[in-house]
Amino acid sequence: AQSVTQLDSQVPVFEEAPVELRCNYSSSVSVYLFWYVQYPNQGLQLLLKYLSGSTLVKGINGFEAEFNKSQTSFHLRKPSVHISDTAEYFCAVRNAGGTSYGKLTFGQGTILTVHP
Amino acid sequence: NAGVTQTPKFQVLKTGQSMTLQCAQDMNHNSMYWYRQDPGMGLRLIYYSASEGTTDKGEVPNGYNVSRLNKREFSLRLESAAPSQTSVYFCASSGVNSYEQYFGPGTRLTVT
C-alpha cells in the first residue's frame, strides 16, 4: 500500500516571498509523483509530474519540485509567489510502470494563502 | 474540447433518496475515475474504469455503484444516500500512455 503525507495543512505567505510545500510518501515499489492545484470551486489541474530522469522537475506557473528518493520526498517550491497562487495543492503518487491507468493516492492537501 | 464535464454541479438529497452523478469526457480517453473530496482527507478513489466494459473498486466503494456506459461516459449512483456521503465528487479521465488525469469541475452533494 502507498501513502502520502503533506506536512503542512496551511501555509500563509506574503506576496513575492518564496514558498515550499512539503510532501513525503511511502511505497514498497518505484513510484511516479505528481503535484495538482485546485483553485476555489474548481477541479484539479496538473502542476508537474516526476516519472524518471532529472530529479528537479519544472511545472507551470513557475513551480518546481525535487524528487529525493532517499528521503522519499517530493517538495514543491516557488521562488516568488503571487496573489493568484492562492489555492489548495495536492501531492499524489502511483506505481511506476505497469499499465497507464494506475490509481493515484493523494495527500491531504495544503492550503496556500498569499497575502498582499 | 470541453474536457471532462459533470452534472449536476450541486445537489441536495434527503437520507434514503437515490441519484446518479453523470460524467462525460471528449478526449477519447480509455480510463475514467470517480473520487470524493472531504476536508483534510484529500481525494479518495471510489471506483475506476480502466477501459470500456470494465469497472473496479477503489478505496471507498461502499454505498456506491458505477456504470461505464460507453467510452465517453462513466456514471456514479447512490442507491440510498446517507449523510456520510455529503462530499464533493470529482470525475477524472486519462488516456493510453498518459500518466496525467484530467479532472471535471466537481459535484457538491449534501445529504440531510
pLDDT at A100 > cutoff 60 = no
Residue A81 vs residue B1, higher pLDDT: A81
pLDDT at B96: 76
pLDDT at A28: 87
Instruction: Please state the φ and ψ torsions of residue B6, each to the nearest 5 degrees.
Output: -135, 140
- Show the DSSP H helices in chain A as ranges: none
**Measured distance CA(B33)–CA(B107) in Å, rounded:** 14
**Measured distance CA(B87)–CA(B39) in Å, rounded:** 9
pLDDT at B42 > cutoff 80 = yes
pLDDT at A1 > cutoff 80 = no
Of A49, A100, A106, the CB nearest to B43: A106
Distance of CA A63 to the CA centre of its chain: 9
Q: What is the pLDDT of residues A24-82, one digit of tens each?
A: 999 988 889 999 999 988 899 999 999 989 999 999 999 999 999 999 999 999 999 99
Q: What is the mean pLDDT of residues B36-43?
A: 91
Query: Does B100 contact A at CB distance below 8 Å?
Result: yes
Mutate to test the interface with B, among A3, A57, A101, A106 (most CBs of B within 10 A): A101
Residue of A nearest to B37 (CA): A108
**Measured distance CA(B90)–CA(A36) in Å, rounded:** 14
Q: Which residues contact A43 (CB under 8 A, 6 or more apart)?
A: B4, B90, B103, B104, B105, B106
Query: Does B95 contact A at CB distance below 8 Å?
Result: yes
Which residues in chain B are closer than 8 Å to A57, comparing Cβ atoms? none
Q: What beta strand segments (E) does chain B contain?
A: 4-7, 10-13, 19-25, 31-37, 43-49, 56-57, 64-68, 74-78, 87-94, 102-103, 107-111
Which residues in chain A are closer than 8 Å to B31, comparing Cβ atoms? 100-101
